[in-house]
Amino acid sequence: MKTIEVSKHLYSDTPPTILRNRVEKFRTAKDNPFWMFVADFVFKRMVANRFYSLMYKGVENVEQRDKNYATIFYTNHNNWWDGIIGYNIIRRLFRGRMRLMIEDMNRFPLFQYIGCFPINKKTAQDAIKSLKYAATTLNAPDINFWLFPQGIVRPPHYRPEVFQSGIAYLIEQAVKNYGGVNLCPVSQIYTFLRQDKPEIIVEFGKVTPYYEFNQDRKEFCHNLAHDFEIFCDNHRLQVSSGNFEGYRYLYKDKLSWWRDIERRLRNVGMKGDNKL
């Protein structure tokens, strides 16, 4: 039997924009009603086709945010689906506008019309330009910024969590220019439970509003990453122990016809068996 060796570059510490060595065109985020309608439909169907369910808990934490300011949701980045899941959550659960930095933006230029914009890490100057623009998008209460503070895709449950300084910069600039910002941790788990398709399990942590920021960025990110690691590990522990109390479904697949037949067949011949 022929086998293929797994690439040692499955997870790389080198950003994609540096690996490709291409000039990335900068595109500003827009909220185009037509393309948002298309994305709402397409991304909803994509999740429905690939996953059995998307369940969540902790929305009561998000409801405690200061609704006068934008919200930064910071979460783990482990696979290709993370941005699409974030879009579904923001649009279907919170009914807000989304902002998302994508390093591969030139491959998906239409994404600028649904609130996305590029982050180019080819040079430090390009990265700073993207961050400066990102800070200007936190100017309205209905903005939900879906952020991956690790700055790169990491394997599931990668430890230790290490955050880049961009999240501290965004908080600092939002406070300075708009008076404040909300910060909310989000833990995402992709796993198989009792069904034939994987499920997505999301937990929202406690929201922290910031009205001032005078901390050292490096120290702040180190402490934030440490707290986030504890939050994610606790979430994983709950799932591993089968504790699903408090979860609600954003999406749940209907029972497929063959699973329905399987359920019915289990009852065939059961009546009267206890008389034997």
Dist. CA 232–CA 75, nearest whole Å: 9
Q: Which two tokens stand for residue 96?
A: 């807000």
* CATH, residue 204: 3.40.1130.10
49 in a structural domain: yes
Residues 6+ apart with CB under 8 A from 100: 83, 86, 87, 111, 115, 116, 117, 145, 146
The phi-psi region of residue 195 (left if phi > 0; otherwise alpha if psi is between -120 and 50; otherwise beta) is: beta
Residue 209 falls inside a structural domain: yes
pLDDT digits (tens, 9 = 90+) for 88-137: 999 999 999 999 998 878 788 999 999 999 887 777 777 888 899 999 99
**pLDDT (0 to 100) of residue 255:** 65
Domain count, the chain: 1
Q: So what's the pLDDT on residue 271?
A: 55
Q: Does residue 1 fall inside a structural domain? A: no
Indicate the helix (H) or strand (E) that contains 252.
Answer: strand 248-252
Distance CA 126, CA 23 (A): 10
Mean pLDDT, the chain, integer: 90
3 within a domain of the structure (yes/no): no
Q: Which residues of the chain have pLDDT under 50?
A: 274-276
What percent of the chain clears pLDDT 90, i.e. is strictly above it? 71
Domain assignment present for residue 44? The answer is yes
In a domain, 4, yes or no: no
Cα separation, 54 vs 211, in Å, equals 33
Is residue 54 a part of any domain in this protein? yes
Within-domain flag for 271: no
Q: Give the separation between CA 263 and CA 254, rounded to whole angstroms.
A: 14
Task: Print the domain residue range for 178.
Answer: 25-265
